[in-house]
Amino acid sequence: MNHESTPLPSLPLTADHCVTRVLIVGAGPIGMELAVALKRRAIPFEIVDAGTIGQTIRWWAPQTRWFSSNERIAIAGVPLLTIDQSKATREDYLTYLRGIASQFDIRVRSFEPVVDIKHRDAGFTVKTTPTSGANTIDCQAIVLASGGTDFPRRLQVPGEDLPHVDGYLREPHRYFGRRVLILGGRNSAVEAALRLHHAGAQVSLSYRGPELPADGIKYWLLPEIRGLCEAGRITAYLGTRAIEITQQQVTLQSTTNHDTIEVPADDVLSLIGYEQSKTLFERAGVERLDTSQRPRFDSATMETNVAGIYVAGTAVAGTQNSRYKIFLENCHEHIDKIVAHLSGETAQVAPARFEQQITAQPES
């Protein structure tokens, strides 16, 4: 691909066909940060998302707080401020993203999933399917900033598709007075257990390990969950795994002696992690590596093995298991690298903003 080619105009040709220089797939924090950077450089672009702006953050339970401090997850040079200077909540950050879109006049084409990517001489033809029909976007480059937590990991046990089994924590109030069994023992599971306990649910927790993993739980949650389990206020079934789910109960099996126990449950939350969808990478012809199925890319430019297709944000890591090493705060440098390469320049990337954080962290 010629990165110094004359930019195509970002103008609609018809109601369902447009031509642009860059198509950003994903309107999460990194996608939005890249959109601002392209706008500042007057590089024409379009940005689409299968959901709404900040889609992954939107499905967090109400009032969930970030692990990272506000300055680490701020984007585009715009400070992220909260009323009491505490770590941002889900609501704080969604408001912040809407503000970024408004401040920089970024038009996100929301609820417009990409369904096909075809190569052509000067770039790519991308088909999307918004609710109104089908659109076509011709572009010279594509940036996949689609994240890595597209859907909950499957349990692979009978009954996991029953309606009372969920891979997401919903509004805690809905669980008041109900028996809730949570499967998992890391951040998502522990935070759900604590929140539902305080919301008046009867909570039990099943985790395959002999004890809750200290290195996989936010440090401020660990003492509380341990204390509640030791006091019997949250029932912990450590060293167990679910082998069958019915409408009335879950069968747990010991990971050591294979004994089973039946646990009554009105709701089952399977919070054992999330997986990245590989569909877009497959359609684009992007090569994937190792068990995480992370895309192959040049770390200096973020360009994949397919010339003209880049990857940014947590999408670079594929499906991250247990311990997350790639997260928003160590992805900001991707923006400078991509913009420089699109401009035919050598990236002048500043040192990592938060070098002390480039170690494994538990999932959000």
Whether pLDDT at 209 is above 90: yes
pTM of the entire structure? 0.86
Q: Which fold has domain 154-270?
A: FAD/NAD(P)-binding domain (3.50.50)
Confidence of residue 17 (pLDDT cuts 50, 70, 90): confident
**Average pLDDT of the residues in 197-214:** 96
**Average pLDDT of the residues in 265-290:** 93
pLDDT in tens, 91-118: 999 999 999 999 999 999 999 999 999 9
- CA 275, CA 293: separation in Å to the nearest integer? 10
Question: Token pair 């949650």 is at which residue?
Answer: 221
- CA angle centred on 306, ends 300 and 311, rounded to 5°: 50
Most confident of 81-85, 131-135, 162-166, 273-277: 162-166
What pLDDT sits at residue 327? 83
Q: CATH number of 11-151+274-362: 3.90.79.10, 1.10.3300.10, 3.50.50.60, 3.40.1030.10?
A: 3.50.50.60
Average pLDDT score over the chain:
90
Asked, colleague to colleague, whether 11-151+274-362 and 154-270 share their fold, the answer is yes
Question: Token pair 């992954």 is at which residue?
Answer: 56
Cβ-contact 169, 188 below 8 angstroms: yes
What pLDDT sits at residue 347? 62
Question: Domain-by-domain residue ranges, the chain?
Answer: 11-151+274-362, 154-270
**Long-range contacts, stretch 323-326, CB < 8 angstroms, 24+ apart:** 323/215, 323/216, 323/360, 323/361, 323/362, 323/363, 324/360, 324/361, 324/362, 324/363, 324/364, 325/359, 325/360, 325/361, 326/148
Tokens of 39: 């706008």
What pLDDT sits at residue 218? 84
Question: Token pair 């447009």 is at which residue?
Answer: 18
